[in-house]
Amino acid sequence: MGALWELASTPAAYAKKAFYKANDPGRSTPPVRIDFGPAPLQHCMLWESDVVRHEEVVFWFHGGGYLVGTAESMLDAANVYNAQGYRFCSVGFRLMPWDRFPAQVDDAFAGIAAALVWLEANGRPCERIFVGGSSCGGHLACLVGYGRWLQEAHGFPAERLAGVVSCAAVVDADDMLLRPFPAPAVWHAYMDLPTHGSDSLAARHMALLPYSPVALVERYAQPGAPGPGAPTPAPNPPTPAPFFAIHGRADTMSPYAHEAAFVRRLNEIAPRPADASPTATLHTVEDWRWQHMVTTVTLHKDPVDRSPALAALFAWLADK
């Protein structure tokens, strides 16, 4: 039933009219394109509201299973964030099969770095940022936010990270790059990772662990743990960045249970005082129609005051 609903609901999700396309999002200037590589998709699109009410810049990665999508495709999200007074930067990345994973991870870090340089050079210094994404874009956001070894390898300024936002993120890399849905998996053929001479799923699973958020979170609990991608040992591991997730309980493509477990584990390894808000928050959409495509495609098409999910998200952002 889940797969059938995904197929049936996707056209309607894309056809739904976005509120801010017909209503002023508070922006009168066109977006700025920031290139960070020679490939056509290696660029960011920066949308700025006329009145910036928040110092943080929101960096967002689009969904599409690493197979489709562009930086420009996040216009609806840009409109929502601009309407709330945030600067919004959509980071593009190369796609499979033309560029094999983890080229997309390299682009995620390179895009943020290039945009930060542009902001500084153009009189918009940014000391705090949020990173977020939908589906595979949420996977990238989690890698940027919680992959300490990746942060070190790319020189990412982790001290600037104010929080990570997920919209039905893939937090277990196996779910997208190995799991066969909706037909025999194709993604596993487009990985450029060491599998020690074996193309078995078990070998690919092991090669993916350094790029799987559920595994990376464990490295906070055991700093310096051996294995590929282990961060530099530290006597006192840093506290994980705050995390906010929106996920439909009925999601059949990016299992709700996996993101719920990810949230629980983040809160377990980053305890807070009893009167403090948790490190990780999961906003669950109980409506059975909010499966993967409906969640990721329609989330940013409603006004904030009419969407419980967006209202909860922007309250959380303001609190950070």
Domain range for 275: 2-319
Label residues 227-253 b or e (16+ Cβ within 10 Å = b). Answer: eebebeeeeebeebbbbbbbbbebbbb
- Is the model's pLDDT at 184 over the cut of 50? no
Helices 256-269/213-221 angle, 10° precision: 10
Which residue in the block uniquely carries the two structure tokens 């609806």?
Answer: 76
pLDDT of residue 30: 95
- Is the model's pLDDT at 34 over the cut of 90? yes
Domain with residue 211: its CATH number is: 3.40.50.1820
More confident: 4 or 99: 99
Which residue in the block uniquely carries the two structure tokens 């309407």?
Answer: 83
Which residue in the block uniquely carries the two structure tokens 């990412």?
Answer: 156
What's the rounded Cα separation, in Å, for the pair 155 and 145? Answer: 13
What's the rounded Cα separation, in Å, for the pair 37 and 42? Answer: 5
pLDDT of residue 227: 44
Q: What is the mean pLDDT of residues 41-64?
A: 96
Token pair of 63 as six digits: 């969904």
pLDDT of residue 225: 43
- Is the model's pLDDT at 269 over the cut of 50? yes
Q: What is the pLDDT of residues 54-90, one digit of tens each?
A: 999 999 999 998 989 999 999 999 999 999 999 999 9
Q: What is the mean pLDDT of residues 213-225?
A: 71
pLDDT of residue 54: 95
Model's pTM, two decimal places? 0.92
pLDDT of residue 288: 86
Give percent above pLDDT 70 in the chain.
Answer: 85
H or E element in which residue 118 lies? helix 103-121
Kindly list the distances between the CA atom of residue 193 and the CA atoms of 100, 197, 207, in Å, as whole numbers in the listed order. Answer: 9, 11, 6
The structural domain count of the chain equals 1
- Is the model's pLDDT at 318 over the cut of 50? yes
Contacts of 50 (CB under 8 A, 6+ apart): 26, 27, 28, 29
pLDDT of residue 101: 92
Q: Name the β-bridge partners of 187.
A: none
pLDDT of residue 186: 54
For the chain, state the CA radius of gyration: 19
pLDDT of residue 226: 39
pLDDT of residue 2: 59
Average pLDDT, the chain: 87
Q: How confident is the model at residue 198 (pLDDT cuts 50, 70, 90)?
A: low
pLDDT of residue 221: 60
- Is the model's pLDDT at 132 over the cut of 60? yes
Label residues 190-208 b or e (16+ Cβ within 10 Å = b). Answer: bbebebeeeeeeeebbbbb
> Out of 42-46, 199-203, 209-213, which region has the weakest mean confidence (pLDDT)?
199-203
pLDDT of residue 72: 97
Q: What is the mean pLDDT of residues 211-231?
A: 66
Q: How confident is the model at residue 278 (pLDDT cuts 50, 70, 90)?
A: confident
Q: Reduced to 3 states, what is the DSSP secondary structure of residue 168?
A: coil
More confident: 114 or 228: 114
Q: Reduced to 3 states, what is the DSSP secondary structure of residue 243?
A: strand
Q: In this structure, are residues 109 and 150 in contact, taking their beta carbons and an 8 Å threshold? A: yes
Q: What is the mean pLDDT of residues 131-152?
A: 95
pLDDT of residue 182: 44
